[in-house]
Amino acid sequence: MLESLGALTGSPWIYAVVGVSVLLDVFLPVLPSGVLVVTAATAAAAGSTTVAEAAVAEAADHMAQVPGEVPADVPSLLILMLCAAGASVLGDLFAFRIARRGGRLGLAITRSRWLATAQERLGTALAGGGGILVVLARFVPAGRSIVSIGAGVAHRKAREFLPWSALAGVAWTGYSAGLGYFGGQWLGASWTGTAVSVLALFAAGALAAYIVKRPDRTPAPAA
């Protein structure tokens, strides 16, 4: 499996795989979209390191006319981030529109106390300009699904939801890709470095979940 994933990061198909995974994990949170972004960014770090080494070798061997070789089978970090962030916003929009139209998704939310509570908190946060909840929920496992579907079921306006969704997608993509890239720079483009970066991604998700689920301790106003 590791060999297959390593071969995928060296193929142009990695952009399509990452985009589709991020697009669909709003409906299927079990998809490893974050792991894919981290792994591809680690491969991009390996490519940048190799390019730098090749440039040094080319300068050192210039008199001998022995140019360094620049690998062409590593993903571009910029294209990777654009694919992931764009797919994140599109996935949120699809889920939002589908839930807004009603149907089984709305029924499932109204029957689930946990989802209904999350929906209520989301509606209050968006109405009060506290859409930072949307950004935090993007890091929580299945939090993106609850936010996008909950906003649709609550019939929030798109102009209230989409800007925060875009900010959430950019923040999550930047953090995930940054972990993979800088982890690859500091720890080396190995599976150990990738594992450390993935653990840091999960740690951020756990922290975001704690903040989102923490009860409001603001005292009620006196009668």
pLDDT band at 137 (very low <50, low <70, confident <90, very high): confident
| Mean pLDDT for all residues in the chain | 76
Instruction: State residue 127's pLDDT score.
Output: 58
d(CA 148, CA 31): 17
d(CA 28, CA 20): 11
Instruction: State residue 118's pLDDT score.
Output: 64
Residue pair 140/215 in contact by the 8 Å Cβ criterion: no
d(CA 211, CA 192): 29
pLDDT band at 165 (very low <50, low <70, confident <90, very high): very high
Instruction: State residue 157's pLDDT score.
Output: 85
Strand locations in 70-188 (E)? none
Q: Residues 15-72: pLDDT tens digits?
A: 999 999 999 999 888 888 999 999 889 888 876 544 333 333 343 344 344 444 444 5
d(CA 219, CA 21): 42
Specify the DSSP class assigned to residue 65: T
Closest CA to 97 of 42, 167, 5, 27: 27
Sequence-distant contacts of 8-14: CB under 8 A, at least 24 apart: 9/39, 9/40, 9/42, 9/43, 9/74, 9/75, 10/43, 10/73, 10/74, 10/75, 11/73, 14/40, 14/43, 14/75, 14/80
* Reported pTM: 0.76
